[in-house]
Every structure is written in C-alpha cells, then in structure tokens.
A and B are shown apart, each in its own frame.
Chain A
Amino acid sequence: MAETDNYKKTGDPNNYFPVNKSYIKRKKIYNRIAYGFAALAFILGAFPVFHIIYSAFIIGYKYLNWHFISTLPTGFPIGAKGGILNAIVGDLYLVVIASCLAVPLGIGSGLYLSLFGKQRANSIIRLLNELMIGIPSVVWGIMGFYIFSTNAGLGFHFGFSALAGGLTLGFIMTPIVTLLTEQAVHRIPASYIEGALALGATKWQATKSVIVKAAMGGIFTAILLGVLNIIGQTAPLLFTNYYNTGTPTGITGPGGAVGDIAMLIFIYIHEPSRILHYKAEAAVVVLLFFVFTLDIGMRLISWLTVKIFEMF
C-alpha cells in the first residue's frame, strides 16, 4: 500500500503499481540459488564420467601400450605378464555370435512392427521387448546356463563356451535392436513409404528400395547400441562362458570358452595382487575406449542421417 500512497503524494506514474521491490529481489535470489543447486547436481552427476576415465588412466597408463593389447596373458598369477589379447579376441567372438542372432531377429521384427500387424498385437510385442530390456542381466545368465551351458537335463549342452555366452548376449541384444529399428523406420517421412506404395510397389519392394536405404543410419545405430550394451556385460557370462586365458579351440564344448574384457576386469580385481589391479585399470581404459568409440560413432551416424534427410 505504501507505494500507492507514494503515487498519490508525488503523482509519479512509475510508482502507481504496488510493487514490492524486496519481494522481487527475494524471488531473484531464490532463482539464483535454484540455478546453483541444479548446476551443482549436474557437476556431481558428470563427475564420475571424468573421474572414472581419469583414475583408470592414472593407474593403468604404464601398461597401455601395443604389447598390452597384442599378447596373451602369462606369468604367475596368470596375467602378471603379457596383455589382454585373449579378452579382445573373445569379445570379438561374443559380439559376432550375438549379432548373428540379434541382428536378423531384431531388424526383422522391427520391420514387422512398423509395416504389418494389428495395433493391439503390436503393442503387446512392444511391451514384451520393453520388459526384456528391463530384465536384470543375472537372470539372463541363469536362463543361458539352463538352456545352453548345462550338461545335465534339457538344453543344448554347449558347455561353458563362446556359443553359449554369445547366444545369451544375443538374447539381451535382440529387444534393443528391435525397438530401435522400429523407431528408425518410424522416423522416415511417411511420404517416402506412401509414395512407393502409391506407385504400386508391394511392401517388400518398398522395404527393399526405400525403407532400408532411408532407415540405414537408424538401423546401424540400433546395432551399435546393441553391441555397446553387450560389450560390457559380465553377469550373463559368469554362468555361460566363464573365462579363458588362452585362445579358444572351438566355440562349443571344453575349450570353447573365450576371454572377455569385462570378465577379465572382474577376475583381476578379485585377485590379491597389485599388479593385476593395475592391469584391470588398464583394461578398463581399453573397454571404455571401445564403449565410447561405439557411442560416438553411433551419434555421428544418426547425426549424419538427419543431415542427409535435411538435404533433400
């Protein structure tokens, strides 16, 4: 009220509205404080990303050389000398086997979801996929053990082997590829597909000549994200393909187990040996290099796809 009285006294129109200046000041200060807290939360959240890289690098840097990624582990305890070639080769095995299962299955059902099917049935399949993404990886591991690895009872009796581990990882990867393929097809402008169909193309012809080309970037992103997801998995491999310090002799049965970078880290960090802890940190740097390369490659591909779309 004081300000209105002030207007009556002075006749200054700038003082007409009853503005409580201290109230505004307080609001602005609260806003600043909220800004500060939000920024602090972000810094705290971003801190582990940098600190994980930094601490792994600081401890593991003296092992990071060509020798480390090009030799098999030797010495006592095993791994004290030599590198992690077994794990890199093993990861290659696992990713290839998992992709052989997940890529056709994921792309096929992603295309089905976006091209055919009734609304209701599709929403159920989508629900199943999202549920499978949420299933903890240790549960997948137990399933993989009983389906692929066990030598008693039902199942494929692959033993602890690359095939068993790879297929279990493929099960984890499939729903990811499916959902992202479907989204990639959805992102294509409807006019592309409708144009092809209006010209008399069947859906197969439209897929072959339009959809696959237009959604190529998105499908690649889907596959890369799937690989990114399985490359760091450890829990499923505990029960399906434990670890191998050498190269595998096959992909099933005894001698079929492969090394894996995540598994190697998990085993080394359990050992009561300082040198293996250092090597585990060096392996963390290698694993993070793979993960971040895939992540950034994936982003580049999807960014380029968007750019190419904008050009036309």
Chain B
Amino acid sequence: MLKLKLNHKDDLFKFILSIFVFGIILIFLTVVTVILYYSYPAVSRFGIAFLWTKEWDPPKEIFGAATFIAGTFMVTIIALIFAIPLSLGIGIFLEEYCPKFLKGFFTIIIELLAGIPSVVFGVWGVLTIVPWLRKYIEPFFKSHFSFIPFLQVTENIGYGILAASIVVAFMVVPIIASITKDSLAAVPKITKDGALAMGATRLDVIKDISLPFSYRGIYGGIILGFGRAVGETIAVVLLIGNQAIIPKSIFGVGYTISAVLANTFTFAVISPIYASSEVELALILLLVSLIINIIGRNVLQRVIGGKLSRAQFGGG
C-alpha cells in the first residue's frame, strides 16, 4: 500500500515535508503563546494603563512601562534620524554614482556591517563612541548649545541615549541602505538612460526618476529598520546607562524595554507578577515587531517582490 503510493505519487514525501512545515508553524505559535500566556496575569491586573504608568516598583508591585517605552522610542527615533540620510546616501552612491568595478566590493562592505554581532557593536560603543562623546561632543554642546531643549548636558559621562542611538543607527544602516539599493535597481534602466541622453545630470535622474519610482521601497526599508532598532538589546544595554528615568535631553541616560529585560528578567522570575510584567514588556516588543514587519513586508512586496536582502539577516 505504502510502496504503491510512494511509487505512484509523492504522498509520503509530501507528508514528511509537511511535518517540517508544521514544525515551523509550531515554533511561531510557541513564541506567541508563551508570551501571551505568561504576560496574562500582568495584563489582567494592570490593564491598558500599564502603557502610561511611570512607576516601576518591584517591592510595591506597581509596574508601568511608560519610562521604558519612552526610552525605546527615543533611541529608535534618534537612531533613524541618523540612519535615514546616511543609508539613502549609501544606497544612491552604490546604485547610481559608484564606479562599476567597485560596486560589488563596496556592497560587500556594507553587508559585512550587517553581519557584525550586536555585542561587538556594544563593545565598540563603550570603548570608542562613549569616550569620544565624553571628551569632545558633550563639552562642546555644554558650552555652546545648552539653551536648546533636548540638547542640555547635565552629566558629562558619555553613556546615554545619544551613544546608544549612534550605535543602533550603524546597525540599522545596512538594512535601509541595501533595500534602498535594491529599490533603485528596480527602476527601468531605459528610462534613466533616456533622461541621461536628453542631457539630464545624474542628480536630475535620481531626483526626478529614480526616487519617485522607488520611494515605496525606501519607506519599506525604513519600516524594517525601525523594527530592527526597537528590538536591539545587547548594544543598548551596554550604552544607554540603565537608569529608569525618562530622559529630558538626548545626552541623558535612560532605559529601553529590551535593556530592562536583559538586565532584570532573571531576577524577576522569583515573583510571579514581576515576571509577568517583564513578559508584558516583551509582549509590547513582540507586537511592535509583528505589526512593523507585516506593514514593511506589504510595502516591499510591491516594489522588489519577495526578494530578501542579505542585510535583513542581522548578526544578533
């Protein structure tokens, strides 16, 4: 019976492969179920107010995520402010301006950046970015720009939102840059050549043809970069200063959701409600990443198809 089936059709083969597919679905359901199940006590106890409660007081069992959400979004937004122009420039350079024989090599360099592990970025930040901020940038801002809100320097220590943002920006750059490059490469070459033949400069071609044609893909890249920046953990833990306060300036120290999880989750499991609140923080991260990735994927699908760029698989 079985042999007949095996020879005749691929039922057995298909059955075995579908077990593997079932495994994939199981993995996805496991992560979602575990996070939902273990965060349920906190969700039912604190309700939606968890999102805007500022206290995080384990002994009194009052938990609210507002401080960490604020820190996470500050780091993410500032990182994107640095990363977007940089990666647009890189994408445009690689696709439009770069000499042909160097293009492959330069692309590999940017993709190597994507493969560097997050802890290595963290160490680089601690030993390079932080001293640089402490020695040059913070004293400069302190003496010249201290009247501008968000730019005041209170403690000249180097660690803080800005240090974390700079490093996260470099981790996000390869994603946005390579998706920008792929979107620009999807512009029909004949249109660009036509414009060049009519006497347009490269800048005209980029401004009037390439960017209008590929802006959706660039949005998609930015959305995926946002998703990556929100969940960044180890580099941020090492750089942000780890103080549960809402920073008033970009030089201030703060705390992000992922950093608080990395630092305190193993202590939290002794108290059920504490652990549950931490898992609820993870739930926020999970939901943000799922929503962001669904949106980003839908945007990208229309521009560059289902093509995955190498940079999307980060180095942890």
Contacts and interface: CB of A to CB of B under 8 A. Distances in A.
A35 B293 CA distance: 32
Given A128-B25, A138-B285, A232 B117 contact: yes
Interface in A1-42: 27-28, 30-31, 34-35, 37-42
A38 B89 contact: yes
A108 B17 contact: yes
A39 B97 contact: yes
9 contacts: A42-B106, A128-B25, A139-B31, A176-B313, A178-B24, A179-B308, A229-B315, A231-B316, A242-B266
Contacts of B136: none
A157 interface: no
A311 B258 CA distance: 49
**For the complex of A and B, 3 pairs with smallest distance between CB atoms:** A232-B117, A136-B231, A41-B89
Interface string B191-208: 000000000011110100
B120 A284 contact: yes
A288 B116 contact: yes
Nearest to B10: A203
A27 B201 contact: yes
B89 A136 contact: no
B49 interface: no
Given A174-B24, A281-B127, A288-B120, A229 B293 contact: no
Interface residues of A, number: 94
B120 A138 contact: no
B231 A135 contact: yes
A216 interface: no
Contact of A52 (B7, B116, B230, B261): B116
A123 B24 CA distance: 14
Interface stretch (A63-71, A142-150, A249-257): A142-150
Contacts of B206: 34
B253 to A, nearest CB: 16
Contact of B20 (A46, A105, A143, A231): A105
A55 B132 CA distance: 13
Interface stretch (A75-83, A188-196, A233-241): A233-241
B81 interface: no
Given A112-B20, A235-B233, A238-B262, A42 B30 contact: no
Given A137-B231, A140-B31, A171-B30, 17 more contacts: A30-B203, A39-B97, A41-B87, A41-B88, A42-B89, A42-B93, A109-B20, A134-B292, A179-B308, A183-B308, A204-B10, A234-B119, A266-B238, A281-B123, A287-B117, A291-B315, A292-B115
B16 A108 contact: yes
B92 A143 contact: no
B109 A46 contact: yes
B78 interface: no
B163 interface: no
Contact of B289 (A45, A126, A136): A136
B234 interface: yes
Most buried by B among A46, A109, A127, A134: A134
